[in-house]
Amino acid sequence: MSLEASFADEPAFVPYLAAGDPDYESSLAYVEALARGGADAIELGLPFSEPIAEGSTIQEAIVRALEAGMTVDRYFEFVADLDVDVPLVCMTYYNLIYQYGDEQGPRPFVRKAAEVGLSGFVVPDLPAEEAGPLRDACDEFGLDLVFIVAPTTEGERLERMREQVSGYVYVQARLGTTGARDEVSDYTERSLARIEDWDVPKAVGFGIKSGDHAERIVSAGADGIIVGSALVDIVAEGHENDDATEEVAQRLEDKARELKQGALRGAGDRPRVE
């Protein structure tokens, strides 16, 4: 199933977890739990040792995964081992993508990603103006390239993203970095308005941690929600308390269901366009 199709019938729930957090086997179970809980696509983080401007929640997840031995090659194995039937999006930093393989540029990484069944990429530190080679490789192997639109994204940068984006656009709903927040930002509606006429689904992320948040964001017009920190928190807490993998997986599945249900309610709240 294509990424865009995940948004087709109802608002999509797109969770994020760092692959290999806190270890390979548990992480497999956690990602599969999200799929059972109703995820329509999953952003699967490939940990990079030098992330920029990640909130401490995600940063710590990355450290746990790296310490447990996650590498680029293990990541590809991980994706191949996963038993889920929703599209998987690789979220990572460009350094890992363009350093991979013998050939210069992103092509070897994208070819391998296609082989193991990934559907697309989100690359936070890749400016749209430098995305050409990755976009070309994605076209060659049939993958999508998602861009993040921040509240401050305007003018030429916004236009360049629009030209190259596929799959969905990741709308950052609040200034700052990932971290679960108590309030849903006012920026949501404004951000959505700026990209209203883009012909890809709009998924809003950053700061969503409850079904109520999800509902409000979808009723404000989002085609989907992206949730990272609130889920990573569950993994972190389970790890600290040494909880059994099945228990933590169950909590993730429950949280996923809450968020998905919230998103569905949000769609119901929306004024019907005749």
Partner 1 sequence: MEGEFEGYGGRHVPEPLEEPLAQLAAAYEEVVPSEEFQEEFQYYLKHYGGRPTPVFYAETLSERWGADIYFKHEDLLHGGAHKLNNTLGQALLAKKAGKERLIAETGAGQHGTATAMVGALLDIPVKVYMGRKDIERQEMNVFRMRLLGAEVEEVTRGNEKLAEAVDAALEDFAENMDDTHYLVGSAVGPDPFPRMVREFQSVIGREAREQVQELHGDLPDACVACVGGGSNAIGLFHAFKDDDVMFYGAEPGGTDDQHHSAPLAKSELDEPEIFQGAKTQVIDDDTENHSVSAGLDYPAVGPEHAALQELGRAEYHAITDEEALDAFKEMSRAEGIIPALEPSHAIALAKKLAEEDRHDTLLVNLCGRGDKDMQTAAEKFDLS
Residues near 187 by beta carbon (within 8 Å), at least 6 away in sequence: 151, 173, 174, 175
The question of whether 237 is a catalytic residue gets the answer no
How far apart CA 223 and CA 41 sit, in angstroms, is 13
Query: Left if phi > 0, otherwise alpha if psi is -120 to 50, otherwise beta: which for 79?
Result: alpha
Contact code string over 117-146 relative to partner 1, x by CB under 8 A: -------xxxx--x----------------
**Minimum separation from the CB atom of position 152 to partner 1 (A):** 4
Which one among 5, 23, 36, 63 touches partner 1, defined by CB under 8 A? 63
> In terms of Cα–Cα distance, which of 3, 92, 10 is closest to 51?
92
Q: Residue 254 corresponds to which tokens in the numbers above?
A: 């429950």
> Looking at 5, 68, 108, 157, which residue binds partner 1 (CB under 8 A)?
157
Draw the binding track, 84-123, toward partner 1 (x: CB under 8 A; -: no contact).
Answer: ---------xxx--xx----x-------------------
Does 54 qualify as catalytic in the annotation? Answer: yes
Shortest separation between residue 223's beta carbon and partner 1, angstroms = 19
**Marked catalytic residue, from 4, 25, 32, 43:** 43
172 binds partner 1 (CB under 8 A): yes
224 pairs with which residues across the strands? 12, 203
Least distance to partner 1, CB of residue 65, Å:
12
Return the residues of window 192-211 that contact partner 1 according to CB under 8 A.
Answer: none
Spatial distance between the Cα atoms of 36 and 20, rounded to a whole number of angstroms: 19
Handedness of CA 187, 222, 128, 145 (dihedral sign): positive
Name the minimum Å distance from CB 50 to partner 1: 6
Rg of the chain over all Cα atoms, to the nearest angstrom:
17
Report the alpha-carbon distance of residue 47 to residue 27 in Å, rounded.
13
Residue 43 binds partner 1, judged by CB under 8 A: no
Q: Does 176 bind partner 1 (CB under 8 A)?
A: yes
Tell which residue, 94, 85, 54, 69, has the closest CA to residue 19.
69
Candidates 54, 60, 253, 258; catalytic one: 54
Nearer to partner 1, 95 or 164 (CB): 95
Other CB atoms within a 10 A radius of the CB of residue 136 amount to 15
* Active-site annotation, residues: 43, 54
The residue ranges that bind partner 1 (CB under 8 A) are 50-56, 59-60, 63, 93-95, 98-99, 104, 124-127, 130, 147-154, 157, 172, 175-177
